[in-house]
Amino acid sequence: MNSKDRSDAPAPDAPAPDVPQFDIQAAQQLLRSELSMSSRLPYVLLLLLATAMVIVIGSLWLTEPSLPMRTQGAFGVLCGIGVGWMVFCVWVLTQRRVLYARQQVISARLGMAFSALFAVGSAVIGLTQGAALGGLLAAGCGLVLFACAYGLHHRAERQHQALLQLRRSLEGHDTAVSMAA
């Protein structure tokens, strides 16, 4: 090995080039923004909307026993979707720690699952009930929603991984400081 190869190697104390540099004030600001009321407000609104949806659809479903079976099935699925969003929102709102964008990953996965369920259900109902065009149009809308949810999932995964790497680098910094003391 020649001296030129040795000079290109990073110093042992130098941080890895792919680890983001972050100062304590920026980390504190990130924590405040993650735990602030304004970051939780969208989940409160989603909880209220999902609850209202379940109440309206559930009351219509329960008070109209003469509805066709496919409509009753659709109402049941919609109520299940609403309850899924309600459980998710309650989980996010009861967390007292930073979630490192994990809630965004989970919400995108829920969005993908529910839009795929809608697309498949619409196509099946349309094809079996003699309304193929309407069912396929509704399924197409469901696929557009799925594509949007997939894009949000991809972005949320990247953000989640970046925040986890940042946490690891800060924890490594903390252990280096505590070992030096």
Where are the strands (E) in 8-165, listed by range? none
Tracing tokens 């990953």 back to the chain, one arrives at: 105
pLDDT, tens only, 98-145: 666 788 899 999 999 999 999 999 999 888 888 889 889 999 999 999
Minimal CA–CA distance to 118: which of 130, 107, 126?
Answer: 126
CA–CA distance, 75 with 59 (Å, rounded to integer): 10
* Residue 145: per-residue pLDDT: 96
Tracing tokens 């349309």 back to the chain, one arrives at: 126
Question: What pTM, to 2 d.p., does this model score?
Answer: 0.69
* Residue 177: per-residue pLDDT: 41
CA–CA distance, 91 with 89 (Å, rounded to integer): 5
* Residue 154: per-residue pLDDT: 95
DSSP 101: T
Sign of CA dihedral 136, 106, 21, 5: negative
* Residue 99: per-residue pLDDT: 67
Sketch the domain layout of the chain as residue ranges: 37-96, 98-174
What is the amino acid identity at position 90? V
- Token duo for residue 126: 């349309």
**Triad 146, 98, 36: Cα angle to 5°:** 90
* Residue 172: per-residue pLDDT: 74
Please give the chain's pLDDT, 181 residues, in tens.
555 554 555 555 555 555 555 566 666 666 666 656 777 889 999 999 999 999 999 999 999 989 998 889 889 999 999 999 999 999 988 887 666 678 889 999 999 999 999 999 999 988 888 888 988 999 999 999 999 999 999 999 998 888 888 878 877 755 444 444 3
